[in-house]
Amino acid sequence: MKKLILSFVFLATALFSMPLFSQIESRLVALGIPGDNLNLYAVLDIFQKSKTLEEFERAINDKDTNINNLDLNNDGYVDYIQVASYRDGDSYSIVLRVAVNRIEYQDVAVIEVNKNRFGKVVIQIIGDEELYGEDYILEPSSGDDYTPNPGYLGYERTYTGNYWNGVLYVNNWPIIINLFSPSFVIYISPWHWGYYPSYWRAWTPIYYYNYWDYHRHYYRNDFYRRVGYVRYPLTHSYYYSRRNSSPVVRRNRINDAYRETYQGRDFRRPEGTVLPRTREQMRGNRSVNPRTSRSVQPMTPTRRQNVEENRQRNPSSARPVQPTAPTRRQNVEENRQQNPSSARPVQPTAPTRRQPVPRTRQDNPSITRPAPANHQRNEGTRSAPSRRPMEKTPPARTNNPSRGKDRN
């Protein structure tokens, strides 16, 4: 009898708790920003099932898939999502962007495909910070509770350390095979503002309540998980240098122009990252700065710091402070002060310049004017004769025949 009563109580408790659990699972979650209208879980799932980038672009813009619900320019119609690919070595950046108007573009998300040195391919999809906030990153998962996706052929479960625990290598995805094939050509969508493919027609976006109902199963699927770090920062920086950001989208987000899609309701935010941000957090032996995602370790004290601490604890062990030895000049000065007789007599210093000499006769009568060396023409007088008398030279004899004739 007691067993029957206990079983009845247990069954009644289970029946009453089932509606509660179902209500919790069906509760809506929302970021509260424009990224709510493009579910990246569904985008990554479509990327897995596609064979080419052209097929992938057409699938995410198809109305029947109910994936694209973005209206970034707030004109009342869904925007066309373009796909562009960039390559840097063994890494690809598949960019999803929207033409807001004729001159402005806004990146929605980027799918980063990287092949490591062992030939394994890792993939992540990163939502743009203007639409999803910071660190909104998704990747395939190969956890223990993984159930194969019907549209996925082949998978690998690989565990290579804590940091890569549960990562899924996607070498066998059809679109990945196409990306790394020799015949692959970089694809950039030929469509732009005002020029769209014939199969596409813009439609009016639906409210978020109905949009979330189409994709609620992705939040309970363990095949994709949200992480909080970029596995290949160099590849992401290569893309970020080419990132497009529209001032119109930023202004609409600040002015709450996208709040109409929520019908005035408030939803709880989705859960944060499933995996830790860095390897240090997984090890649990270091403190991590969440802003820089780098381990912050206390600096080890230097030898000088250890000596100072020992001196403060035991003052007797401190080294006595010795006065510095005086220099030679200080010794000489002290000796002079103690014995003044030994000081060197101070001699008057000689003038550095000669005394000025008077230049005129009134200042110095002893000055006489020197005799001029040449004749002074301006006074009209001849120079004074010298003290030595001039000697008269006799006239020179000449043989003049005419004089001899006259004498005769």
Over the stretch 308-318, which tens digit does the pLDDT of each residue have? 666 666 666 55
Q: Which residue has the higher pLDDT, 329 or 160?
A: 329
**pLDDT of amino acid 396:** 56
Supply the pLDDT for residue 264.
80
Q: What is the mean pLDDT of residues 37-51?
A: 95
Mean pLDDT, residues 14-24: 42
Identify the pLDDT of residue 116. 92
When mean pLDDT is compared across 15-19, 221-225, 359-363, the lowest value belongs to 15-19
Q: Comparing 19-33, 199-213, 220-234, which segment has the lowest mean pLDDT?
A: 19-33
**pLDDT grade for 141, boundaries at 50, 70 and 90:** confident
Q: What is the mean pLDDT of residues 302-309?
A: 59
pTM across the whole model: 0.60
With beta carbons less than 8 A apart as the criterion, state whether 252 and 158 touch.
no
Structure tokens at 250: 């930023």
Q: Looking at the predicted structure, is the pLDDT value of residue 301 above 90?
A: no
| Stronger pLDDT, 283 or 6, i.e. the higher one | 6
**Distance between CA 287 and CA 91 in Å, rounded?**
32
Query: CB-hemisphere CA count at 13 Å for 93?
Result: 24
φ, ψ at 252 (rounded to 5°): -65, -35
The pLDDT of residue 45 is above 60: yes
pLDDT at 380 over 80: no
Phi, psi (degrees; rounded to nearest 5) at 171: -60, -25
Residue 75 has which token pair?
A: 């004109």
Mean pLDDT estimate for the chain:
74
Greater pLDDT, 335 or 247: 247
* Backbone φ, ψ for residue 214 (5° rounding): -70, -25
Whole-angstrom distance, CA of residue 9 vs CA of residue 375: 155
What is the pLDDT, as a whole number, of residue 86?
A: 94
Q: Mean per-residue pLDDT for 137-159?
A: 51
pLDDT value of residue 29: 87
Helix (H) or strand (E) holding 42: helix 40-49
d(CA 45, CA 273): 19
pLDDT at 158 over 50: no
User: Averaged over 111-115, what is the pLDDT?
Assistant: 96
- What was the pLDDT predicted at 322? 62
Mean pLDDT lowest among 21-25, 166-170, 360-364, 367-371: 21-25
Fill in the DSSP letter of residue 220.
G
Minimal CA–CA distance to 141: which of 129, 125, 130, 119? 125
Q: Picking from 122-131, 134-143, 241-250, 285-294, which range would have the lowest pLDDT averaged per residue?
A: 285-294
Task: Please check the confidence at residue 233 and state whether its pLDDT lies above 70.
Answer: yes
Residue 382 has pLDDT above 90, yes or no: no
Per the DSSP assignment, residues forming a β-bridge with 85 are: 94
The number of C-alpha atoms within 13 Å of 345 and in the hemisphere containing its C-beta is: 2
pLDDT, tens digit, for every residue of 236-276?
Answer: 999 999 999 999 999 999 998 998 899 888 888 877 665 54
pLDDT band, residue 223 (cuts 50/70/90): confident
Q: Is the pLDDT of residue 67 over 50?
A: yes
Strand duo 137-140 + 224-227: pairing: antiparallel
